[in-house]
Amino acid sequence: MEKRRLGRSDLFVSQICLGTMTFGEQNTEAEGHEQMDRAVERGVNFLDMAELYPIPPKAETQGRTERCVGTWMKARGNRDQVIVASKVIGRTANEWFRGDRPSKLVRADIMDAIDKSLSRLQTDYIDLYQIHWPDRENPFGSNPTRVTTLSEPLADETPIAETLAVFDDLVKAGKIRHFGLSNESSWGVMRYIAEADRGVGPRVVSLQNAYNLMNRTYEVNLAETCQREEVGLLAYSPLAQGYLTGKYDDGALPEGSRKVLFDRLQRYEKPGGPEAAKAYNTMAREFGLTPAAFAQAFVNSRPFMTSNIIGATTMAQLEEALGALDVRWTDEMQTAVDDLHQRIGNPSP
């Protein structure tokens, strides 16, 4: 499997990253271990998680995902062979993360988060530590296709320089190696870079944003920003939370699916979303591929992609996601996708 340099860092990550947010909820610890074993066998060296996980976030399950990864690394004795990425939450009113208060991107909360993550992971350091979402008020995903109102900065908004200085201390303490962002906008990325260039803290090496056939908003401004500033894209939700597998076509509700279990797929259920998904799924079959393989192959083929974060709840799903690397993405496929995108745009930003 191809390894790609992550931003300007010394990390070379596999072009496929294993997402782990189902470990501890939809997947047991043993199933999580099995997935990680198989991914590593196929050449994956990159695992993504967060203090928030598993999904859906709940006080009683929070942190289980990192614990699962930690027990796996301890059992396999392979900490030095895998690149571990985790995330600290952004602003939230939920109190269970810090134990007694809402959380923001301030020193006390970030320090609390990193120490708890290191303990759960049974490691002394995290290779890539990311901000899950901003402290400021912004749309989750950060790239809306239209803006009807503009929010004034929050009265207690944490300055980016203040947050970045904490990450500088984490690097100096050896608790993290590199710093990344998630669910950020072009403005946010550039503000962090500007502060780093002033000497405030570490330079951002990666951006983890949603990217798939139904949401190509990354291409509008962030692709240029990240290319010129050497920030690597880590794409999450390549299957649009399952809508690009075809299993929800025509309103179907498969037993055991995330939609049935948790009903948290609203991002892909906006007007035009299900219709767009079915159009792409139909196109995939016309090219002789399963919808999931087609959608994954599209993401894998993008020239700005550093690593595609896949996720699975079954080994069969994992094999299909890994197998998409063998799909040859053709000019004909790209033209068909672009023609459809020109007509329907990004229904699920």
Closest CA to 164 of 182, 142, 179, 184: 179
Helix or strand (DSSP H, E) at 343: helix 331-344
CA-only gyration radius of the chain, Å: 19
Q: Which residues contact 221 (CB under 8 A, 6 or more apart)?
A: 143, 185, 186
Q: Which of 53, 129, 243, 280 is catalytic?
A: 53
- Residue 221's SS3 state is coil
The DSSP result for 306-340, as a single string, is EEEEE--SSHHHHHHHHHGGG----HHHHHHHHHH
**Per the structure block, which two tokens stand in for 1?**
């499997």
Contact 188, 153 (CB under 8 A): no
Q: Which residues contact 190 (CB under 8 A, 6 or more apart)?
A: 225, 229
129 is catalytic: no
Instruction: List, by residue number, the catalytic residues.
Output: 53
